[in-house]
Structure 1
Amino acid sequence: MIKKIDKFTLYIGYFAAFVLSLLVLLIVYDATARYMFSEGSTALQELEWHLFDLIMLFSIAYTLKKSAHVRVDIFYNSFSHRTKTIINLIAALLFVIPFSVLIVYEGLHFVELSFLQMEGSSDPGGLPYRFIVKSLMPLGFIFLIMQAVKEVLVCKEELSR
C-alpha cells in the first residue's frame, strides 16, 4: 500500500508539473495578446487562476512526499534521524491529517452548494463552470490525507526498528 500511495502521489505531482507548463504557455499567450495586440480575455485570466488552483492543490501531497514542506530547518536539521521521525509522526497525526479531514468535511458542503447552483463566473465573459474548480479543494486534501497516512506508516515502521 505504501508503494501504491507513493506512486500515485508521484503521478499527481507529474500531472501538476504538466499543468504548470500549460499555465506558463497560457500566461505568455495572454500577456502577448494583451500588451502587443490590446486583446484581453476574462475567460483566459480566470483559466489561469483555475490552473493555478489545480497546481497548488495537487502539489501539496507531492510536496509532503518529497519532504519539501515548510518547517523550521534551523532546528530540524540538527536533530537526529529518530527525533525527525518522531516530529514527522506527530505533525502528521496531530496537524496534517486532522486539518485535512476538516477541510474535506467542510469543503464537500461548499462544493455541493456550488454544484447545486451551477456556479459560474460573475464576470461577463468569464468561465461558466466554477463548481468544477471548487471540487478540486477537497480532492487535493484527500490526496494529502493519503500521503500523510503513508508518512505515518513509514514513521511507525522506522521507529519500530
Structure 2
Amino acid sequence: MQFLALCAGIICHINNGLGKVFSWLSLGIVVVCFTVVVQRYVFAVSYVWLQDLYIWLNGAMFTAVAGFALLRNDHVRVDIFYRPAKIRTKALVDLIGVVLFLLPFTWVVYAYSMPFVTRSWGYHESSANVGGMPGLFILKSFIIGFAVLLALQGVAMAVRSILVLGGRPELVPPQIRYGAATAETPDV
C-alpha cells in the first residue's frame, strides 16, 4: 500500500510541476496575440508564423496541463450528488469513473493519435500556411503527452480510491486528498 501511495505521489508531483511550468504559456499567448493585433492594426504588418505561434502555444498549454487540472479537480463535474457524498462514496465513484471512462478514453486517444503523430514526425510536418511555423510534428506530440499525463493522473486517482476504500486514507498523498483543495472535512 505504501508503494502505491509513493507512486501516486510521484505522479502528482510530475503533473504539478508540468502544470505550473506550462501554465506560464498563457502569458506568452497573451503577449503574442497582443503583438499580432498591434502589428496588424497599428503597423499594417502581418506574419503568419506569429499567428501560428499563439495558436500552437494554446494547444501545447491545454494538452500539457490536462493532468494538472485533474490533479486540482479543476475539470468539469456535475457534483450535485458527489460534493455532499461521504469520502468512501467519492472514492468508489472516482475508482469506477477512472476504470470505466478515463483510462479507456486516454487509451483511445493514445492509440488513434500515435500513427498520426508518427507520420507527422516522419516527414517533419510544418504549418500548412505559407510562411507558417516549422515543427508542427512537435506540437502534435503533445497529443501523446496529453493522453499519458491524463492517464497517469487517473492512476493516481485510482490509487487514492483504493487507499481510502482499503481503510488507509492516511497514506493518500497530500496533493490528492479528498478535501485538500476545499474546506471539506474528511468523514471516512
Q: Give the TM-score taking structure 2 as reference length.
A: 0.82
Which residue number in structure 2 is paired with residue 79 of structure 1? 85
TM-superposed deviation, 1:80:
2.1
Residue 62 (structure 2) pairs with residue 56 (structure 1): yes
1:37-57 C-alpha deviation (Å, 9 max, x unpaired): 111111011111111111110
TM-superposed deviation, 1:94:
0.8
| Counterparts of residues 130-145 of structure 1 (less than 5 Å) | 130-145=136-151
- In structure 2, the gaps of 5 or more residues are 1-6, 168-188
Which residue number in structure 1 is paired with residue 39 of structure 2? 33
TM-superposed deviation, 1:59:
1.4
Q: Secondary structure of the residue that 1:75 maps to in structure 2?
A: coil
Which residue number in structure 2 is paired with residue 105 of structure 1? 111
Structure 1: which amino acid aligns with 2:124?
M
When structure 1 is superposed on structure 2, of 44-53 and 118-127 the one drifting more is 118-127
Which residue number in structure 2 is paired with residue 20 of structure 1? 26
Match of residue 71, structure 2, among 60, 65, 71: 65
1:93-119 C-alpha deviation (Å, 9 max, x unpaired): 111111101111111111011111221
The share of aligned pairs that are identical, in percent, is 27
Structure 1: which amino acid aligns with 2:138?
I
CA distance in structure 2 between the partners assigned to 1:135 and 1:33 by the alignment:
30
Q: CA RMSD in A?
A: 1.2
CA distance in structure 2 between the partners assigned to 1:76 and 1:4 by the alignment:
26
CA distance in structure 1 between the partners assigned to 2:145 and 2:23 by the alignment:
17
Give the ranges of 4+ consecutive aligned residues of structure 1 lying more than 4 Å apart after TM superposition: none
Match of residue 43, structure 1, among 33, 39, 49: 49
TM-superposed deviation, 1:74:
2.3
Q: Secondary structure of the residue that 2:23 maps to in structure 1?
A: helix
More helix by share: 1
The size of the alignment, in residue pairs, is: 161
Match of residue 125, structure 1, among 108, 126, 131: 131
CA distance in structure 1 between the partners assigned to 2:84 and 2:8 by the alignment:
28
Structure 2: which amino acid aligns with 1:143?
L
Match of residue 10, structure 1, among 16, 20, 23: 16
Structure 2: which amino acid aligns with 1:5?
I
